[in-house]
Amino acid sequence: AFDVLVVGGGPAGASAAVYAARKGLRTGVLAERFGGQVADTVGIENFISVQYTEGPKLVNALEAHVRQYEVDIMNNQRATKLSKSEQVELELANGAVLKSKTLILAPGARWREMNVPGEQEYRGKGVAYCPHCDGPLFKGKKVAVIGGGNSGIEAAIDLAGIVEHVTVLEFAAELRADAVLVKKAHSMSNITIITEAQTTEVTGDGNKVNGIQYTDRKSGDSHHIELAGIFVQIGLVPNTEWLRGAVELSPRGEIIVDERGQTSLPGVFAAGDATTAPYKQIVIAMGSGANASLGAFDYLIRH
């Protein structure tokens, strides 16, 4: 049995594992895919003190740091059920059951995709999901934001300060974002908002994005907009479906945590993009992983 078992091998999980191992605790890390979202990231320019790195390089560094300690890394393994009696019990997809005194949940999240031709081909070559990360790459260029919810309109306002022009494409007839954000977006001269627009294809020159094709749902007409970047903002979904009923989740499915990363189930902590933490970034995930790990240590010395 473990003292600390971590579910997730992204920045939050790796950070939690290093902090736990450095306390001399028996630590395990279970990951469906070590590296998490970082493995899918091309350039990273906001990992403070590292001016530029690339996803796979950072994943290797995360793994090397965890392996510096006696941590049991169980990669390509998926957790399917969490329960607690005396200890925390974690059921895996392969049927095995792991036991631990404490658990740190760091299963991360996934961006909802448009599922249109060209999206996968041009991912990281103009198709982006994180305006805080990739906005500056499109300085002085034209971009689109897909989605008129809070994250879409926030992204449009953010990007409008950097890029030449932002077109927001929203599927529904109305924007779902808060009125104050919509008002702000309407007040900016370089934002155009198009509603009832169904995105149908990401177009490119073979190397990078050069536009987007959409259908006007009212008229049925098809249109093409020339641009350099497309920010998909149609939802970030936490990987917490399997935790429903085991720990308290917010209406959006995020794990509810307190200041110490403690969930509603004593001894079970959580960190990173899967939690109610409002901003989803690598440095923030790492910080919250360290925080949850110290929370677990505190719990262990009291039980």
Tokens of 220: 């049925």
| Residue span binding ligand FAD (CB under 6 A) among the ranges 167-175, 176-184, 206-214, 269-277 | 269-277
Note the Cα 273 to chain centre separation in Å. Answer: 5
**At its nearest, how many Å lie between ligand FAD and the CB of residue 279?**
8
**CB-based contacts of 28: which residues, under 8 Å, 6+ apart?**
2, 4, 5, 6, 71, 72, 73, 74, 98, 100
134 is catalytic: yes
Q: Closer CB to ligand FAD, residue 128 or residue 177?
A: 128
Binding mask 60-79 for ligand FAD (x = CB under 6 A): ------------------xx
3-state class (DSSP) for residue 131: helix
Q: What is the dihedral of CA 29, 35, 37, 41, to 10 degrees?
A: 170
| Residue span binding ligand FAD (CB under 6 A) among the ranges 26-34, 139-147, 179-187, 203-211 | 26-34
Out of 4, 5, 6, 7, the residue judged to bind ligand FAD by CB under 6 A: 7
If you compute the radius of gyration of the chain from its CA atoms, what whole number of angstroms results? 21
How far from each other are the two terminal CA atoms of the chain, in whole angstroms? 16
Say whether residue 285 binds ligand FAD (CB under 6 A).
yes
Residues annotated as part of the active site: 130, 133-134
Q: For binding to ligand FAD (CB under 6 A), which residues are involved?
A: 7-13, 30-34, 36-38, 40-41, 44, 46, 78-79, 106-109, 111, 129-130, 133, 239, 242, 272-274, 280-283, 285
